Amino acid sequence: MGWDFSTEPEFQEKLDWVEQFCREEVEPLDMIFPYAVRSKDPKIKALVKPLQDQVKAQGLWALFLDEELGGPGLGQLKLGLLNEIIGRYGSAPQIFGAAAPDTGNMEMLAAYGTEEQKERWLKPMINQELWSAYSMTEPQGGSDPRLFKTHAIRVGDDWVINGEKWFTSAGRAADIIFVMCTNGMFVVPRRTPGVEIMPEPRSHNHIKYNDVRIPGDHLLGPEDGARVLAQRRLGGGRIHHAMRTISQCNLAFDMMCERALSRESHGKIISEHQMVQEKIADSYAAIRMLRLFVLETAWKIDNTSTQEARTDIAAVKYSMAKVLREVSFNALHIMGSLGTTNLTPLQAMYAGAPTMGIADGVDEVHKATVARNVLTHYEAHEGFWPTEYIPAKREKAREKFEPLFKADEDLRKIADGYAKYIKSRT
């Protein structure tokens, strides 16, 4: 029996170190120098690098990558346990070399990149000398690849890209952009002529690709392999989002419980009101169920592949958005007016919850995918009655016992008595 919910003592010690490190070192940095990890200022970089060096000394840098690619090769399950902690702190994922969208893009390079591409882009990304973005969604087609228009054509030894992308997160700050075209996935340096980043939205950028010419070796993976690569890319990204969502839910839950014990309403502490208790109980159960689902999915990826675990990845994707929405709302409601301000993380968390139901494909698409995949394991029943139709099962069971009844008429009489009793109750 291989069923086990425990964490090895050695790795638990690492997680304990991470929790203390984030609380004592990362959070203060976030409070005084927001976005410090991406700063070009040498004074700020001098504050970040010692923290990253501590992470590397603990063997926790880029946890999701294999050893030969610069990580410890500990896999998705342990990354999930790590993300339960670091997802609470703004810059912690970058300080641990495990931030979106770079994690998914690095996995793509690791899986499909040539040795030259890994040397050129993957190693600098691991060392955070390069930042990346993923450019897939389009204004007219959303995330449906069948509706995409952005296309690359071969011109001599180069590729020329034309098209338009919407909601390329961190595109403005990226050094390289992974662009999904109808006929392939391409790595495009942001400063390439023709890459036009529109003024709005500020964080999730609208980008036009106007005759963007890149060298032939900037194609990632096979030509016409964009959809395969995209599914691999999004699968990793979705499970990482789910891992970080658990940490956000835990943060909201901690705030909820602390507030419930600290405030008074109608003559008693609000934690004594049953409606408050209901919100706490529902939130606790929802978080625990999501956590187990996410960790089991991570375990499946480690033991099979992203492709094999695709149904569960899709299911955790829409489940995480629902749980985050419900838990953050409950926490905000218990926090009261303070929760509606920007003086705690709750308002931004609740406002961002709908985005989680849209990012990396809308929830409705994932639900349809899960349903289709699940139904492939079933068949339609024959005739009018389903498999679990009780009268038919009783008739078949009666046939099974008939040889015994022939040998023992008293046993038949007992069975007939039960049959008469059952009939009287229907």
Q: Which residues of 158-180 are buried (b: 16+ CB within 10 A; e: fewer)?
A: ebbbbbbbbbbbbbbebebbbbb
Which residue is it, tokens 């990890």?
37
Q: For the sheet containing 195-197, what is the strand order?
A: 151-155, 158-169, 204-215, 195-197
Quick one: which H or E segment has residue 135? strand 132-135
What are the tokens at 112?
């499909």
What is the band of 236 on the pLDDT scale with cuts at 50, 70, 90? low
Same domain, 408 and 348: no
Q: How many domains does the chain have?
A: 4
pLDDT band, very low/low/confident/very high, at 28 (cuts 50, 70, 90) = very high
* Residue 110 forms part of a structural domain: no
Question: Torsion-angle region of residue 285: left (phi > 0), alpha (psi -120 to 50) or beta?
Answer: alpha
Whether residues 256 and 300 share a domain: the answer is: yes
Q: What percent of the chain has pLDDT over 90?
A: 78
286 part of a folded domain? yes
In the 8-state DSSP scheme, what is residue 73?
-
What does the alpha-carbon distance between residue 378 and residue 373 come to, in Å, rounded to a whole number?
Answer: 10
Question: pLDDT tens for residues 356-376?
Answer: 888 877 899 889 999 999 999
Q: Is pLDDT at 235 greater than 60 in this prediction? A: no
Residues 209 and 233 in one domain: no
Query: CA 178, 69, 315, 206: dihedral to nearest 10 degrees?
Result: -20
pTM: 0.86
Residues 31 and 88 in one domain: yes
Tell which phi-psi region holds residue 35, choosing left (phi > 0), alpha (psi between -120 and 50) or beta.
left
Print the domain residue range for 397: 390-425
Task: Kindly state whether residues 249 and 186 are assigned to the same domain.
Answer: no
* Beta bridge partners of residue 178, listed in sequence order: 134, 187
Of 99, 120, 140, the residue at which a domain comes to its end is: 99
The answer to whether the CB of 272 falls within 8 A of the CB of 261 is: no
* Per-residue pLDDT at 141: 82
Q: For residue 39, how many other CB atoms are within 10 A of its CB?
A: 14
Q: Does residue 108 lie within any of the structural domains?
A: no
**pLDDT (average), residues 329-337:** 96
pLDDT at 113: 94
Phi, psi of 114 (to 5 degrees): -75, 170
Same domain, yes or no: 260 and 284: yes
**Is position 415 within any domain?**
yes
Q: Does pLDDT of 155 surpass 70?
A: yes
Binning the chain into helix, strand and coil, the percentages to the nearest 5 are 60, 15, 30
User: Are residues 244 and 327 located together in one domain of the fold?
Assistant: yes
